[in-house]
């Protein structure tokens, strides 16, 4: 047995003891529905099944945006592994099993749904039905937005080794502050293209889904699917790679929406310029624009230990251009207002009817 598998085996062994114990206390499966997405041909349904005490409220619905708590409460959960769940999306009906961490990630074909927001219905063996929304994107959509979260739309101001721990476990969920004018930028983009699909791609854990949805709603960001990850150990290592998660999700979006050109927005605090640049180099016809929010000197010190990215740093915006084999516009700015002056004209140009 390799050392890399020790974490997942230990996690499974602990869960094998905890799940029967909490079930004996009366805990029952509860579906947490995430926001999925798809086309008129196929859809992706995302959810997780946790064990909790029976409640009269509708637990699968997002909590009110003014309801806040310490972040660690989102992680004090017990999931239901290998649980059969019936899922219906439009005309499609399947039975899927949760994975070892309680997640459902199911692709559907033949659902027959038109573009717009729809609901998938999930039924546990106990008969309880919950809902997970799905955003169906029309085949005529030609432009989409992918946005990072931490330091792109949400101010962190923490050293990177502490960032994930503090934001997820300690910080009060109502104290998260948005990057100035980024919500206005995304709203202006939606005004110019009301059907613009917006995806939030982050290395954050799925446990923070409800917290992030409340942050987006409270601060005026357009709603859209969150593409998060599971922090638990895998069969190949103790921790998942955040960079690989982003690379995989970008490729998955490209495969699902081959007719869409993407606006990719991130920050120069870590690896966004490199990841976006690599993607644009491999698929130059699928990227309309790359926008990089420039961190302040203080934020760069926390991210790197130095007040600037420097020419040798793989997070420097110039890395985008270095990685690319074909010209794709790369714009930079310290906030949403500065980025808007460069991004909105490009969006308007590509939104004009072809004569």
DSSP string, 246-299: HHHHHHHHHHH-TTPEEEEEEETTSSHHHHHHHHHHH-GGGEEEEEEEPPPHHH
E strand or H helix at 182, and its extent? helix 182-192
Kindly state whether residues 54 and 198 are assigned to the same domain: no
Cβ atoms of 30 and 48 within 8 Å: the answer is no
Rounded-to-integer distance, Cα 298 and Cα 98, Å: 43
Kindly state whether residues 341 and 212 are assigned to the same domain: yes
What residues in the chain have per-residue pLDDT under 50?
A: 1, 3-4, 58-66, 68-75, 170, 234-238, 310-312, 355
Q: For 202, phi and psi rounded to 5 degrees?
A: -140, 155
What is the total count of domains within the chain?
Answer: 2
Kindly state whether residues 229 and 333 are assigned to the same domain: yes
The residue count for the chain? 355
- Residue 124's CB is within 10 A of a number of other CB atoms, namely 19
Domain that holds residue 231: 143-351
**Three-state DSSP string of 187-203:** HHHHHHCCCCCEEEEEE
Kindly state whether residues 113 and 209 are assigned to the same domain: no
β-strands 42-52, 103-109 pairing: antiparallel
Kindly state whether residues 179 and 210 are assigned to the same domain: yes
Choosing from 121, 136, 151, the residue where a domain stops is: 136
Hey, which residues does 121 pair with through a beta bridge?
88, 131
User: pLDDT digit string (tens) for 42-63?
Assistant: 999 999 999 988 765 544 444 4
Residue 57 belongs to domain with CATH number: 2.60.40.10
pLDDT attached to residue 21:
75
DSSP 8-state symbol, 75: G
Kindly state whether residues 159 and 290 are assigned to the same domain: yes
Kindly state whether residues 200 and 164 are assigned to the same domain: yes
Choosing from 80, 104, 136, the residue where a domain stops is: 136
Cβ atoms of 289 and 248 within 8 Å: the answer is no
Rounded-to-integer distance, Cα 189 and Cα 135, Å: 18
Kindly state whether residues 332 and 205 are assigned to the same domain: yes
Choosing from 118, 136, 154, the residue where a domain stops is: 136
The sign of the dihedral angle between the CA atoms of 69, 74, 75, 80 is: positive
pLDDT attached to residue 11:
60
Residue 242 belongs to domain with CATH number: 3.40.50.1000
Rounded-to-integer distance, Cα 121 and Cα 266, Å: 34
β-strands 36-38, 28-33 pairing: unpaired
Cβ atoms of 101 and 12 within 8 Å: the answer is no
Kindly state whether residues 127 and 149 are assigned to the same domain: no
Kindly state whether residues 60 and 18 are assigned to the same domain: yes
DSSP string, 297-339: HHHHHHHHSSSS--TT-TTSTHHHHHH-SS--EEEEESSHHHH
Tokens of 166: 């503090």
Kindly state whether residues 131 and 147 are assigned to the same domain: no
pLDDT attached to residue 312:
47
Kindly state whether residues 214 and 341 are assigned to the same domain: yes
Angle (nearest 5°) at CA 101 between 99 and 102: 65
User: pLDDT digit string (tens) for 200-258?
Assistant: 999 888 888 988 999 999 999 999 999 999 765 544 444 556 789 999 999 999 999 99
Cα of 42 vs its chain's centroid, Å: 19
């Amino acid at each position: 047995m390799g050392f890399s598998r020790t974490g997942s085996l230990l996690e499974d062994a602990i869960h094998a003891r905890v799940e029967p114990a909490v079930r004996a206390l009366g805990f029952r499966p509860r579906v947490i529905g995430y926001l999925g997405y798809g086309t008129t041909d196929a859809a992706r349904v995302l959810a997780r099944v946790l064990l909790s005490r029976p409640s009269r409220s509708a637990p699968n619905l997002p909590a009110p945006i003014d309801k806040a708590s310490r972040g660690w409460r989102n992680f004090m959960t017990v999931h239901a592994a290998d649980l059969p769940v019936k899922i219906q999306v439009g005309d499609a009906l399947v039975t899927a099993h949760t994975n070892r961490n309680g997640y459902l990630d199911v692709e559907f074909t033949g659902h027959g749904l038109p573009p717009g927001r729809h609901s998938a219905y999930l039924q546990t063996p106990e008969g309880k039905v919950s809902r997970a929304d799905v955003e169906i994107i029309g085949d005529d959509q030609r432009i989409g937005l992918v946005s990072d979260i931490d330091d792109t739309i949400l101010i962190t101001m923490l050293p990177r080794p502490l960032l994930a721990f503090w934001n997820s476990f300690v910080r009060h969920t109502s104290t998260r502050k948005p990057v100035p004018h980024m919500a206005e930028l995304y709203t202006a983009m939606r005004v110019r293209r009301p059907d613009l699909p917006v995806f939030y791609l982050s290395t954050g854990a799925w446990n923070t889904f409800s917290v992030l949805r409340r942050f987006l709603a409270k601060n005026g960001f357009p709603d859209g699917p969150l593409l998060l990850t599971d922090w638990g150990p895998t069969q190949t290592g103790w921790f998942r790679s955040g960079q690989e998660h982003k690379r995989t999700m970008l490729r998955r979006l490209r495969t699902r929406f081959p007719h869409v050109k993407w606006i990719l927005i991130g920050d120069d605090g870590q690896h966004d310029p490199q990841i976006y640049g690599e993607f644009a180099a491999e698929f130059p016809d699928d990227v309309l624009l790359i926008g990089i929010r420039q961190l302040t000197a203080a934020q760069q010190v926390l991210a790197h230990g130095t007040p600037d990215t420097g020419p040798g740093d793989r997070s420097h915006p110039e890395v985008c251009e270095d990685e690319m084999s074909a010209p794709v516009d790369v714009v930079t700015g310290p906030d949403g207002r500065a980025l808007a002056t460069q991004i909105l004209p490009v969006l308007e140009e590509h939104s004009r009817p072809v004569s």
